[in-house]
Amino acid sequence: MDSFKTKNKKIEMQLVDQIRKGDHQAFEQLFFDYFFSLCSYAFQITQSNDRAKDIVQEVFYKIWKHRHKWNIHTSLKAYLFRVVRNEALNQINKIKQQEQVKEEVSAEGQLPYPQERRQKTESEKKKIRAIWEIAQQMSQRRRSVFVLHRKHGLSYKEIAKVLDISRKTVENHMGLALEEIRKKLDC
C-alpha cells in the first residue's frame, strides 16, 4: 500500500511539475480529474451549485495564473480541497459583509448524493438518501469531515490538513457522525 501511495505521490508531483512548466494538457487532466468532486465539496459549504462552480473555476484560474510559483507540500488532493474550502469560506465572508453593509445602509429593513458505480436496490437508495439527509443536519465541521472521508475518500490525515484540525479531532467528528447516523436510522 505504501508503494502505491509513493507511486501516486510521484505521479502527482510530475503533474504539478508539468503544470508549473505551462503544460496545458497536464492542467486539463488536473481539471477533469478533480472538477466535479471539488464542486460537490464546495456545494457542501455554500449550498449553491452556481457559487460552488464559480469557486472551483476561480481556484483553477488562480492555479494556472500562478503556476510558476506553485508549490505543494502535501497530497495534491488534500491541497485542492483545502484551497477550495478557503476560497468558499472567503466568498461566504465577503457575501456576509456585503449583506451587512446593505442592512446598515437600508435601515428598513442539496446534497448531492455520492456517485454510485453499481445499481442500487430501492431500499439501498433510500438508506443512502437518509444518510445524506442526516449529514446535512450535522454541524458544518462534522459534515465536512464526513463528506471528505466517505464521499471524496480522503484519509483522516488528509482531512486534518484540509480543515486545519488535528487528526484526533477528525476521528472524533467521524465517530460522532457515524453514531448520529446509526441512532437516527434506528429510529
Query: What is the rounded CA–CA span in Å between residue 49 and residue 53?
Result: 6
Q: Are residues 182 and 139 in the same domain?
A: yes
Is residue 161 over pLDDT 90? no
115 domain residue, yes or no:
no
pLDDT tens-digit map of 81-118: 999 999 998 888 777 766 665 554 443 334 444 444 45
**Average of pLDDT values for 131-159?**
89
Range of the domain at 152: 122-186
Q: Are residues 50 and 99 in the same domain?
A: yes
Question: Which of 10 and 99 is assigned the larger pLDDT?
Answer: 10
Confidence of residue 41 (pLDDT cuts 50, 70, 90): very high
Q: Are residues 92 and 16 in the same domain?
A: yes
Q: In CATH, what number is assigned to the domain containing residue 68?
A: 1.10.1740.10
Of 5, 77, 84, which is closest to residue 45 (Cα–Cα)? 84
Are 115 and 82 contacting, i.e. CB atoms less than 8 angstroms apart? no
Start-to-end C-alpha separation, the chain: 39
**Average of pLDDT values for 152-157?**
88
**Average of pLDDT values for 1-22?**
81
Residue that is last in its domain, among 73, 105, 137: 105
Angle between helices 24-46 and 140-150 (to 10 degrees): 140
Grid cell listed for 27: 492542467
Query: Which string of DSSP letters, residue by residue, matches 46-78?
Result: HS-HHHHHHHHHHHHHHHHHTGGG---SS-HHH
Is residue 38 over pLDDT 70? yes
Question: Which of 141 and 106 is assigned the larger pLDDT?
Answer: 141
Q: Are residues 50 and 82 in the same domain?
A: yes
163 domain residue, yes or no:
yes
Are 173 and 142 contacting, i.e. CB atoms less than 8 angstroms apart? yes
Grid cell listed for 75: 497530497
**Helix segments in the chain, DSSP class H:** 2-20, 24-46, 49-65, 76-105, 122-136, 140-150, 156-163, 167-186
